[in-house]
Chain A
Amino acid sequence: MRIVIPVIAFAAVSSVPLFATSYYLYLAELAMINVVVALGLNLLCGNGGLISLCNGSFMAAGAYGTALLTSEAGLSGLAALPAATLLTSLLGAILGYPARRLSGLYLALVTLGFLELVQIAIEEYPDITGGIRGLKVARPAILGLSLQSETALYLLVAALTAFAIFAAWNIQKSRFGRALDALRQSPFAARSLGIPVARMKPFAFALNAAFAGCAGGLFAMVTGFIDPTEFGVLESLKHITFIVVGGLGSVAGSVLGAALFTALPEFLRGTNEYSELVYGLILLGTLLFFPRGLAGLWERLPALPLQRAASKEPVHGAS
C-alpha cells in the first residue's frame, strides 16, 4: 500500500506529455520545480524553525551555475546540474555559518541582505552572467542525446522531483529531521541531548540550498533563459507562501502548496488585477482557519469513517 500510491502518482505525472499541450507541459514543469524548492525550504523553516528570505538566491546560484558550467566549463547538462547543486549547497553552508547565533527577525534581515548581494553580483558582472539582460541557456544533453524533445526534459524534471520528495521524506523521518525539529521546539533540550545546535544551522541552510539549487538548475533548463528578476525577493516570499499554505513541516504540504500556487494564476486569468486579492485571501484564510495548512486539513475534518479506520491506533485514556 505504501509503495502503491507513489507509483500510481508518478505514473500519472509521467503520462502528462501524452495528452498535454506544450504550454501545460511547461506549467507542470514549473509546478514540479516549485515543489522541489518548497521541500527544501520546509526542512529549513518548517522543521528547523529558521527563516530564509534568500531562497531565490539559492535558485539563482543553481540556475546560473548550471548554465555557466554547461556553456563555459563545457560540462554536459547531466553533470552540470549536480555540480551546481553541490556548489549551491556549499553557498548555503557559508551563509548559515554567520547565522549560527541568529534567529527570527535578525536572521530574516541577514538573508535579505544576502539576497541583495546576489542580485547585485549578477547585475555587476554582465560579462559572465549577462547582467540584467539575462542569459540564454542551452538545452541540456544527456549521454550525448540532446533533450530537444519536450517529453524527455519533462521526464527528467519529474524523475528529479520524485527523488526530491523521496529524499525530503526520508530526511524528515531520520535522526536529522528530528534534530531539526528539536532545534525549532527547544534548543535547550536539544543541547542537553548532545545535538550540536550551532552546527545544525549551517547544515539546515546547506540542505535547503541543495534543493533550491537543483530546482534553479532545472528552471534554467526548462525556461532556456534566466535573468535576475526571476530570483528576487518576491520570488523568495512566494516560496514561503508555498509552505505556509501547504503546511509547515509536512512533505505533502510542500507538494500541495507549490502545486496550488503554480496553477492558481491559470484559474485566475479572467480576474486580472484581482488576482493579487485572491492570493492574499487564500493566504489569510489559511492562516486563520487552517494554521497547519492544506496538509493539516485532513486532521481537521470531522471524523469520517474512512479516517477513523486509518487512524494509527486506538486512543488510550490518560493513565
Chain B
Amino acid sequence: MVLLETEGLSINFGGVAALADVSISVQPGEIHGVIGPNGAGKTSFINAVTGFVKADQGCIRFDGADVTGLAASSLSAGGLGRTFQHAELFGECTLLENVLTGFYRHQRYGLLAAVAGFGKAARIERQTRKQAAGLLAQFGLADLAQHRASDLPFGLQKRADMARALAAKPRLLLLDEPVAGMSEGEADETAASIKQLARELDITLVVVEHNMRILMSLATTVTVLAQGRVLARGRPDVIRANPEVIRTYLGEDA
C-alpha cells in the first residue's frame, strides 16, 4: 500500500532539468524527508505533485488513483495539502482569518445561508472559529490570532502557514522548508509540534528541508535529490552513512 507515488517525473525549464526521472513512493503514516542542495529540485517536486507545475513526463498516483495533470485546487480538495517556502499568507488578513480560510471546503453552507447569516452559517462559523483557534494554539500562535499576518516575523508566518494548511484537513501534507527562518530553539519546537500533529491527525508528511539536523530527527525515510535526480533513498541513519551523499551534500553543509 502506497499513498503517494511518482514515476519518472521530469520537468524542464527551457532546457534545464529541474526534475529528471524522479520516482518516489510515500507510505501512509510515514514522515518522508526530501533533502538536497539549492537547486536540487525540492520545491519543483512539491509543485509538480500538488499540480502547481505540470510535469513534462512521468505520472503521479495518489491513494491508488492517477492524478497526473489535475488542477491544484482539485488535488488539494482531494486531500493533498502543501505549505510554501515563503509562507504565502494572506498578508492583510489576521492569522485567525488565514486559518479560517483554510477551512473553506469543510464549511458546508451555501451562499443563501451565508447571506442570511444566522442559523446554519452562524453555527458552522462558530465551530470553525473554535477549531482555528485550537490550531493556532498548537503552533504557539494563540496570542497573535488578531495580528495582521504581514506584520509578523518570517518564522511565525511559516508556522501560521502550517496551521492554515492543516485546516484544510489533508491526508498527505507536503511541507516546503518548514523551519526556514527559525532559530535552532524554535526549529526544535516546531519540529516537535509537526511530529505530534502528524500522529494525532493521522497525516502522512513529505518534508522538504535544508536543515539536516531537523530533517534527520523528523523523517522516517529520506530521499536525497541532487541536480533534479534521486541520489539516494533510505532510512536516515543509512543516508547519513552514504559516501556519495556525504560528498555532494553533507560534506559542505553539516
Contact = CB atoms under 8 A, between A and B. Distances in A.
Interface string B72-115: 11101100011110001111110001001111110101010011
A193 B166 CA distance: 9
Given A175-B107, A316-B143, A181 B73 contact: no
Contacts of A169: 117
A170 B101 CA distance: 15
Contact of A189 (B90, B103, B107): B90
B105 A193 contact: yes
Interface in B6-42: none
Interface residues of B, number: 47
Given A166-B117, A188-B88, A319 B140 contact: yes
B119 to A, nearest CB: 11
Interface of B: 50-52, 71-74, 76-77, 81-84, 88-93, 97, 100-105, 107, 109, 111, 114-117, 121, 125, 140-141, 143-144, 146, 152-153, 156, 164-165, 167-168
Interface string A134-174: 00000000000000000000000000000000110111011
Given A181-B93, A313-B146, A176 B76 contact: no
A181 B101 contact: yes
A171 B115 contact: yes
B90 A194 contact: no
B144 A194 contact: no
Contact of B73 (A170, A173, A197): A197
B116 A178 contact: no
Contacts of B103: 175
Contacts of A193: 76, 81, 101-102, 104-105, 164-165, 167-168
A192 B115 contact: no
Contacts, number: 114
Nearest to B103: A175
Given A191-B51, A195-B101, A195-B105, 4 more contacts: A174-B114, A174-B125, A181-B90, A181-B92
Contact of A318 (B91, B93, B156): B156
Contacts of A195: 73, 101, 104-105
A240 interface: no
Contacts of A189: 84, 88-90, 164
Contacts of A173: 117, 125
